[in-house]
Amino acid sequence: DAKGWALQRQQRYAEAVKCHEEAIRLNPKRVNFYYNKGFALYRQQCYVESIKCYNEAQWQEDDHDVAVIYYFKGKTLYAQQQY
């Protein structure tokens, strides 16, 4: 997942998504992997896929900040004009 974030900082979002997918495959219970993938998809304007990741993240058992997930989920819905 650290590699995925490094790619995101370089605005290489498609490559970052692949890294986040691999992280999810290896550890599907980590909320931040779904969140990070959702953010990379959001930056590519893949809003439907992004929302799916945020939905998955909010239902995982973890101590990740749920407010952050809802913030970016709301931001993604707003970008789609789904008020």
Distance, CA of 13 to CA of 10 (rounded, Å): 8
Name the H helices within the chain.
Answer: 2-9, 13-26, 31-43, 47-59, 66-79
Interval 26-54: pLDDT, tens: 999 888 899 999 999 999 999 999 999 99
**Buried b or exposed e, range 10-44, using 16+ CB within 10 angstroms:** eeebeebbebbeebbeeeeebbbbbbbbbbbbbee
pLDDT of residue 63: 58
The per-residue pLDDT of the chain, averaged, comes to 89
Q: What is the mean pLDDT of residues 6-31?
A: 95
pTM (predicted TM-score): 0.82
Instruction: Give 71 or 44, the one with higher predicted confidence.
Output: 44
Three-class SS of residue 78?
helix
pLDDT of residue 43: 96
